[in-house]
Amino acid sequence: MPVNPEVVDLPAKPGVYLFRTSNGRVLYVGKATVLSQRIRSYFAINPDRVMIPELVKKADDIECIVTNSPQEALILERQLIREHRPRYNSMLKDDKSYPYLALTKEEFPRIQYTRHPSPESWKWGPFPNAGAAKQVVQLLRRHFGIRDCKELLPQGCLAMHIGLCAGPCIEAGDYKQRVQNVRRILDGDASDLIEELATQMDEYSSNQEYEMAASIRDMIKAVRSVTSQQVISSTVYRDCDAIGIGVKGDLAAIVVIHADDEVIKGQESWPLIHRGDEGDSISTFIVEHYSTRRPPRLLLTPIPLTETIVQWLSERRGTKVECRSPSRGDLVTLTNLARQNAEIQIERLANKATGSLEQRAATEGAALLSMDSLDHIVCFDMAQLLGDSRVGASVCLRNGRPAKKEYRTYTVKGAAMDDLRMMREVVERWIKRVEDWPDLLLIDGGETHLAIIATLLEKHGVRDRMELASLAKREETIHREGHDDLVLDRRGRVLVHARDEAHRFVNKFHRKSRARARLSDPLEAVSGLGAKKLQSLLRHFGGRQGITHATVTDLKTVPGIGPSLAQRIYDSLH
């Protein structure tokens, strides 16, 4: 039932609040400077966001986590959104396909270009431009000699001999200082670093230490070479970022334009799952984007940011970050450019339907069923032959493509001989082990199958964690509770593919099960018949054929074989 505002009693302190259902599912995570005041706004007569009435209707409880400051609430909100992935929060689309740059925290750190950085490393990213990130790795190795080998070799390596590594495995030298310089460059402190290096060079020169002065001179040249490339536009020395957003339905695109001295240096674009509030989407993006980057001196946004986010950005940078939403002047040109590019990006994202035929099929299927997405489908099917080799199987489709590592097979353990009870047993075993709930649980069957599995899901309290449907072979009809039956057309091909794949997979497993049963020895299943007694039987009757034709009386004549065991042996063979 909808949450009752009269029983919600939150403190007047900063923190994070969570809208939950009765079974513990998190629907929304938010932050607040004053929790009690923020929660009251959700029960206003005219809410400021479209999704609020539906959120309040579906939530059964609101809980909170009090923090020491609004800045701590900002970080905690981000962590909880990543953990629970609530339905009503705006979220960056999965960025695991984007690479990071990382420096390990070993005695002699090594640089990595990786999509899965170690949590124990310094990291920068993710970067949409993978080619640019690779180019930076090459520049840093060439100019600073940062190693990338997995282990230190006492004799050195080829990279050292061709000048791509400073060779800390042979002599440490100033390697730690090199690493510090690289970290500062990636953090955006290039200008300060150049000033420090210039001072050191002058000191060495005045002391007539010309070799050291020349080494510092070369390092200054290297720093300028790296920063002048402007290939990591999101982390290397810049003055201003302008953020623009384009929205189309539940999909949004955010564009960040990087400028230095009013000269545009580059642009990045990011897809976003949008939940109806542009301010929330932009705030979510900023916290995620600058958690692994040094914020700029000036940040331009289409909607003013909260004081909490501004303070957090300043803490991340180490100096004050100025945040503006300009309405006139030269900076408006930059913000308009960011907005126009974001609108172009969202049109491209929508038109290409997220990029693949399989994903397009999943997107069309979701639209056909009026669902947010069909990116994760699990489908069940059963197989048997006159009660023999009773098996079931489940297949998984992610983004319209088979995820074969998540396919599962089941041998029915109960006494059920009909598909309905067999299906119920198999799905119940799946429920107890599942960790990642799908968007849709699809059953091969009709309305009766649907009713039985729906009752099972209700029993285990997981009915609201996924959509449930059954697909009947006759006319390819989809059955769902609370919806009219739907005969699938081309837009539902992802559902037909899931059902056909489950049918193929379970039949393959069924054939293997029957083959194993034919090859197995029935005597192995006889209780009380061990290896020695079986050997006695073979010697007495001269082989398997003799045992097969023996009567119960004949079997009792073998030493060690009693009447009851003889009967069990005879029954297993006949």
Judged against a pLDDT cut of 50, whether residue 228 lies above it is answered with no
Distance of CA 449 to the CA centre of its chain: 32
In-domain check, residue 356: no
For residue 518, what pLDDT is reported?
Answer: 57
More confident residue, 106 or 520: 106
Measured at the CA of 179, the angle between CA 175 and CA 183, to 5 degrees, comes to 170
Average of pLDDT values for 29-57?
Answer: 82
pLDDT in tens, 83-128: 788 888 776 665 555 677 888 888 888 888 887 778 788 877 666 6
Distance of CA 503 to the CA centre of its chain: 28
More confident residue, 217 or 406: 406
Q: Quick one: pLDDT band at residue 22, thresholds 50, 70, 90?
A: confident
By mean pLDDT, which of 49-58, 299-308, 446-455 is the weakest?
49-58
Residues 256 and 326 in one domain: yes
In-domain check, residue 95: no
φ/ψ of residue 92, rounded to 5: -65, 135
For residue 161, what pLDDT is reported?
Answer: 67
pLDDT in tens, 68-77: 888 778 877 8
Q: What's the chain's average pLDDT?
A: 80
Domain boundary among the residues 199, 229, 259 is at 229
Q: Quick one: pLDDT band at residue 328, thresholds 50, 70, 90?
A: confident
Q: pTM for the complete prediction?
A: 0.43
In-domain check, residue 182: yes
Q: Tell me, what CATH number does 537's domain have?
A: 1.10.150.20
Total structural domains in the chain? 5
Residue carrying structure tokens 């020349």: 214
For residue 232, what pLDDT is reported?
Answer: 36
Q: Minimal CA–CA distance to 425: which of 398, 446, 396, 456?
A: 456
Residues 472 and 532 in one domain: no
In-domain check, residue 438: yes
Residues 503 and 403 in one domain: yes
Domain boundary among the residues 317, 351, 385 is at 351
For residue 352, what pLDDT is reported?
Answer: 53
Residue carrying structure tokens 């005969």: 487
- Hey, which residues does 443 pair with through a beta bridge? 380, 470
Tell me the CA end-to-end span of the chain in Å, nearest whole number.
61
More confident residue, 402 or 224: 402
Judged against a pLDDT cut of 80, whether residue 402 lies above it is answered with yes
Residues 436 and 505 in one domain: yes
Helices (H), 307-400: 307-317, 330-351, 357-368
What is the C-alpha R_g of the chain?
Answer: 33
d(CA 426, CA 441): 13
In-domain check, residue 481: yes
Average of pLDDT values for 505-526?
Answer: 74
For residue 70, what pLDDT is reported?
Answer: 84
For residue 190, what pLDDT is reported?
Answer: 65
List of residues 6+ apart from 161 with CB closer than 8 A: none
In-domain check, residue 431: yes
Scored b (16 or more CB within 10 A) or e, 378-397 reads: bbbbbbbeeeebbbbbbbbb
By mean pLDDT, which of 10-24, 150-164, 238-252, 295-309 is the weakest?
150-164
Residues 430 and 444 in one domain: yes
Residues 302 and 417 in one domain: no
Average of pLDDT values for 340-350?
Answer: 77
Instruction: Please report the DSSP string for 484-504 in residue order.
Output: --EE--GGGHHHHHHHHHHHH
Average of pLDDT values for 496-505?
Answer: 92
pLDDT in tens, 360-401: 788 888 888 988 888 899 999 988 876 567 889 999 998 888
Q: How far lies 360's CA from each of 208, 395, 401, 468, in Å?
A: 69, 20, 11, 21
Residue carrying structure tokens 């995820």: 403
d(CA 235, CA 128): 13
pLDDT in tens, 140-151: 777 778 888 877
Domain boundary among the residues 34, 54, 89 is at 89
Instruction: Report the amino acid identity of residue 574.
Output: H
Sign of the alpha-carbon torsion through 488, 490, 495, 496: positive
In-domain check, residue 488: yes
Residues 208 and 296 in one domain: no
Judged against a pLDDT cut of 70, whether residue 130 lies above it is answered with no
List of residues 6+ apart from 342 with CB closer than 8 A: 244, 245, 246, 253, 254, 255, 269
Sign of the alpha-carbon torsion through 471, 472, 477, 478: negative
Instruction: Report the amino acid identity of residue 446.
Output: G
Residues 104 and 119 in one domain: yes
Residues 220 and 252 in one domain: no
Residues 511 and 368 in one domain: yes
Scored b (16 or more CB within 10 A) or e, 47-57 reads: eeeebbeebbe
In-domain check, residue 234: no
More confident residue, 217 or 531: 217
169: domain range? 100-229
Q: How far lies 232's CA from each of 201, 244, 249, in Å?
A: 27, 19, 31
Residues 175 and 295 in one domain: no
Judged against a pLDDT cut of 90, whether residue 468 lies above it is answered with yes
Percentage of the chain beyond pLDDT 70 is 85
Q: Tell me, what CATH number does 67's domain have?
A: 3.40.1440.10
Residues 513 and 529 in one domain: no
For residue 92, what pLDDT is reported?
Answer: 64
For residue 174, what pLDDT is reported?
Answer: 81
Q: Quick one: pLDDT band at residue 135, thresholds 50, 70, 90?
A: low
Judged against a pLDDT cut of 80, whether residue 425 lies above it is answered with yes
Instruction: Please report the DSSP string for 532-551 in residue order.
Output: HHHHHHHHHHTSHHHHHH--
